[in-house]
């Protein structure tokens, strides 16, 4: 080991370890402030509805009720989390206006002296709703006559004027025509809740200097701060976000959900306000990993080489896209897998439905592609009469190969990883695979 | 219904709290007394992050009305931490990297203390059974089990030392 390396290769105690084992680590909602108020949300009880009227009169009479917030109180009520990186259009309502697009969508916020009073008042809000037809399936949502979820008239996120993120490389139809085998598969996955043990939450505290300190368990402190600044139309320098301690996130705490309303309530009341999800909210209304449907069609030669791959993917973003447009872009860049395939066509759709919005979760966009493609690889192996190891070595990409989205492969390690995996499980590999390397094809190996 | 005064022994010290009926031990510990090592992952008895010892037995404080512990001894992670350094179970969790986010850790350590108190050399299965009510979502069960085994070995070898 190089003497300059004093961490790599060594076991180093975690800086937060003592705090965790003594319970002294302060998570966001471990903070408590005198006079702290509690914010709870009135949510849509149905999947899709026109909102005719919100009647707060009974809620206002609950002892401990302090104030209610509706969309009219939110300075910039329609936003897009990824607006910070130029994604358009603004689409998600901090509090619903004329329509609720998913079951659990926030319609109003109640602020009260205690959590019990807030929950009691929430239960007494009367919603006059006209239920609308809802759609829950990505392909149903794209059919003519499907209920339209978005406020712009179709159910797809638009990528530079196209209803899907597209990748075109070579000529798949020509290659399918000369392939020895055509192998097709359709792969469906369900939404997955990240389910952190600490639920999403924050406490916004007004300071004497006119700023707001927000203790939050967001995974994205500055993303949350910037979006809060946009939604509340106040300069970012009036917000001080204290975060970095996250009781489990897995992507589930990347969206900007609790901070804007808690801070708005703190501005209205000039008191600390806590807004934390219950376990039920965490499981039912916080965003999930998207449900996916992925169609794969491969053209394969007798020797196992894949010469063409066509992928049509649909990610169910739910009622709002949150981080899903970005997931589809990552997906499209990886939907041919870690394989060198000369002809590839990918159409990846971010589809709106009346389900709970989906968003980030560990490797989102890629994880589900890997599931579909690796099952598909086993299928190809079967059709071509090869074993699952061979089909992957034969098609593995190497340094210098061009990926379908025109990126040159660098630092490939698929071959070396498979060789190491084979050794670990006692799989004897043929000499040609043992000798293979990820180095540029011209530089070495088979 | 009016509030009541409840007295119990917390970490060896008698405390007196005024509570409305059905206030949970968890709410009293966290929000009246500031014992925030008691976590609140679900408040419905599903995750074990709020586990405390009541008369030495692990209990989920979110399901326990504080009236039910009147006159009893309650121990949270705060009282398990010695004045100087760490308890051997805490040390073992640290050495085995038995946590990632740390949110389930207080409950896990409290359960481990109870287990080792009753059973200084538990089998792997006994350790697994002890954690039946505690969820770790960062998928750290193996290091947690290893930490308890390590703590058990550490105390056995200490006991074996002369003098």
Q: Is the pLDDT of residue A446 over 50?
A: no
Which chain A residues are closer than 8 Å to B104 by Cβ?
A: 197
| CATH number for B59 | 3.10.20.30
**B101 touching chain A per CB within 8 A:** yes
Residues B142 and B114 in one domain: yes
Count other C-beta atoms under 10 Å from residue B160's C-beta: 7
Model confidence over A306-323: pLDDT tens digits?
999 999 999 999 999 999
Q: How far is A367 from chain B (nearest CA, A)?
A: 18
Helices (H), A130-269: 138-141, 172-178, 221-232, 258-269
Residues B11 and B75 in one domain: yes
Residues B93 and B155 in one domain: yes
On whether the CB atoms of residues A199 and A277 are closer than 8 A, the answer is: yes
On whether the CB atoms of residues A54 and A109 are closer than 8 A, the answer is: no
pLDDT at residue number A443: 61
| B106 to A29: CB separation less than 8 angstroms, yes or no | no
Residues B95 and B150 in one domain: yes
**B41 touching chain A per CB within 8 A:** yes
pLDDT at residue number B159: 74
| Coil, helix or strand at residue A139 | helix
Residues B119 and B100 in one domain: yes
Region A128-157 average pLDDT: 96
Domain boundary at B55, B79, B103, which?
A: B79
Count other C-beta atoms under 10 Å from residue B19's C-beta: 18
Which chain B residues are closer than 8 Å to A29 by Cβ?
A: 40
Would you give the distance in Å from CA A22 to the centre of its chain?
Answer: 33
pLDDT at residue number A9: 85
Model confidence over B107-149: pLDDT tens digits?
999 999 999 999 999 999 999 999 999 999 997 899 999 999 9
Q: For residue B109, what are the domain limits?
A: 88-160
Q: Is the pLDDT of residue A445 over 60?
A: no
* Lookup result for tokens 């300069």: A235
> How many pairs of residues across A and B have Cβ atoms under 8 Å apart?
88
Region A8-16 average pLDDT: 87
Domain boundary at B79, B102, B117, which?
A: B79
Strands (E), chain B: 4-10, 13-19, 51-54, 57-60, 73-75
Q: Is the pLDDT of residue A16 over 80?
A: yes
On whether the CB atoms of residues A100 and A24 are closer than 8 A, the answer is: no
Q: How far is A135 from chain B (nearest CA, A)?
A: 31
Q: How far is B154 from chain A (nearest CA, A)?
A: 17
Residues B110 and B138 in one domain: yes
Count other C-beta atoms under 10 Å from residue A164's C-beta: 19
The full DSSP string for A355-383 is: SPPEE--TTTTTHHHHHHHHHHHHHHHHH
pLDDT tier, A157 (very low <50, low <70, confident <90, very high otherwise): very high
| B94 to A21: CB separation less than 8 angstroms, yes or no | yes
What chain A holds in terms of domains, given with CATH numbers, is: 165-192+287-435 (3.30.365.10)
Residues B97 and B154 in one domain: yes
Query: How much is the mean pLDDT over chain A?
Result: 96
Region A71-90 average pLDDT: 95
* Lookup result for tokens 């607006």: A83
Domain boundary at B79, B108, B124, which?
A: B79
Which chain A residues are closer than 8 Å to B43 by Cβ?
A: 278-279
Q: Which residue of B has its CA nearest to A21?
A: B90
Would you give the distance in Å from CA A206 to the centre of its chain?
Answer: 31
Residues B75 and B92 in one domain: no
Region A98-113 average pLDDT: 98
Residues B113 and B142 in one domain: yes
Residues B149 and B95 in one domain: yes
pLDDT at residue number B78: 97
**B134 touching chain A per CB within 8 A:** no
- Taking the CA of residue A61 as centre, how many other CA atoms within 13 Å lie in the half-sphere pointing to its CB? 5
| CATH number for B134 | 1.10.150.120
Residues B73 and B12 in one domain: yes
Q: Which residue of A has its CA nearest to B94?
A: A17
What is the token pair recorded at B73?
């001894």
* Lookup result for tokens 């007295």: B7
pLDDT tier, B158 (very low <50, low <70, confident <90, very high otherwise): confident
| A196 to B76: CB separation less than 8 angstroms, yes or no | no
Phi-psi map region of B156: left, alpha, beta (phi>0 left; psi -120 to 50 alpha):
alpha
Instruction: Give me the interface pTM, i.e. the ipTM.
Output: 0.96
pLDDT at residue number B163: 47
pLDDT tier, B156 (very low <50, low <70, confident <90, very high otherwise): confident
Model confidence over A192-226: pLDDT tens digits?
999 999 999 999 999 999 999 999 999 999 999 99
Q: Is the pLDDT of residue A2 over 70?
A: no
DSSP letter assigned to residue A71: G
pLDDT at residue number A64: 98
Q: Is the pLDDT of residue A263 over 60?
A: yes
> Hey, which residues 244-303 in chain A have their CB within 8 Å of chain B?
246-250, 278-279
Region A239-245 average pLDDT: 96
Number of domains in chain B: 2
Percent of chain A with pLDDT over 70: 98
Q: How far is A94 from chain B (nearest CA, A)?
A: 25
Model confidence over B26-47: pLDDT tens digits?
999 999 999 999 999 999 999 9
> Hey, which residues 104-123 in chain B have their CB within 8 Å of chain A?
104-106, 109
Residues B24 and B51 in one domain: yes
On whether the CB atoms of residues B141 and B131 are closer than 8 A, the answer is: yes
């Amino acid at each position: 080991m190089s003497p300059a390396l004093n961490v790599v290769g060594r076991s180093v105690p975690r800086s937060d370890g003592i705090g965790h084992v003594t319970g002294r680590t302060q998570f966001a909602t471990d903070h408590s402030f005198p006079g702290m108020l509690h914010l709870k949300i009135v949510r849509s009880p149905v999947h899709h509805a026109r909102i005719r009227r919100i009647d707060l009169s009974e809620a206002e009479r609950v002892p401990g009720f302090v104030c209610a917030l509706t969309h009219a109180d939110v300075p910039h009520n329609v936003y897009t989390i990824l607006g910070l990186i130029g994604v358009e259009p603004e689409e998600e309502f901090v509090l619903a206006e004329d329509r609720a697009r998913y079951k659990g969508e926030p319609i109003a916020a109640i602020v009260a002296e205690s959590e019990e009073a807030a929950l009691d008042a929430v239960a007494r809000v009367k919603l006059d709703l006209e239920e609308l037809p809802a759609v829950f399936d990505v392909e149903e949502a794209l059919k003519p006559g499907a209920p339209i979820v978005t406020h712009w008239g179709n159910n797809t996120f638009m990528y530079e004027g196209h209803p899907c993120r597209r990748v075109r490389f070579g000529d798949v139809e020509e290659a399918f025509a000369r392939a020895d085998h055509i192998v097709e598969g359709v792969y469906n996955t369900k939404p997955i809740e990240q389910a952190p043990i600490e639920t999403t939450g924050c406490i916004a505290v007004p300071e004497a200097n006119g700023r707001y300190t927000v203790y939050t368990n967001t995974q994205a402190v500055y993303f949350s701060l910037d979006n809060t600044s946009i939604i509340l139309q106040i300069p970012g320098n009036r917000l001080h976000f204290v975060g970095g301690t996250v009781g489990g996130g897995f992507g589930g705490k990347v969206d900007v959900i609790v901070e804007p309303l808690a801070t708005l309530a703190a501005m209205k009341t000039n008191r600390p306000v806590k807004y934390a999800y219950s376990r039920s909210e965490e499981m039912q209304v916080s965003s999930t990993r998207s449900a996916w449907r992925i169609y794969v069609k491969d053209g394969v030669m007798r020797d196992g080489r894949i010469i063409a791959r066509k992928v049509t993917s649909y990610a169910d973003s739910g009622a709002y896209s949150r981080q899903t447009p970005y997931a589809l872009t990552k997906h499209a860049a990886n939907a041919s897998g870690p394989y060198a395939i000369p002809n590839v066509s990918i159409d990846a759709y971010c589809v709106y439905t009346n389900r709970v919005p989906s968003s980030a979760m560990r490797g989102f966009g890629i994880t589900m592609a890997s599931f579909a493609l690796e099952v598909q690889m086993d299928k190809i192996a079967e059709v071509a009469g090869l074993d699952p190891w061979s089909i992957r070595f034969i098609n593995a990409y190497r340094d210098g190969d061009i990926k379908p989205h025109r990126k040159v492969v660098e630092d490939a390690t698929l071959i070396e990883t498979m060789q190491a995996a084979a050794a670990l499980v006692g799989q004897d590999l043929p000499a040609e695979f043992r000798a293979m390397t990820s180095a540029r094809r011209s530089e070495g190996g088979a | 219904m009016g509030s009541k005064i409840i007295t119990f022994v917390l970490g060896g010290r008698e405390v007196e709290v005024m509570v409305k009926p059905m206030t949970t031990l968890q709410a009293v510990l966290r929000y009246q007394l500031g014992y925030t090592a008691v976590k609140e992952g679900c408040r419905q008895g599903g995750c074990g992050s709020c586990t405390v010892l009541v008369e030495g037995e692990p209990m989920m404080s979110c399901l326990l009305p504080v009236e039910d512990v009147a006159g009893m001894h309650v121990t949270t992670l705060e009282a398990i931490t010695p004045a100087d350094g760490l308890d051997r179970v805490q040390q073992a969790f640290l050495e085995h990297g038995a946590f990632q986010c740390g949110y389930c850790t207080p409950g896990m350590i409290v359960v481990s203390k109870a287990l080792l108190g009753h059973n200084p050399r538990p089998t792997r299965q006994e350790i697994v059974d002890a954690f039946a009510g505690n969820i770790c979502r960062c998928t750290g069960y193996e290091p947690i089990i290893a930490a308890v085994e390590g703590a058990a070995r550490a105390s056995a070898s200490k006991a074996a030392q002369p003098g």
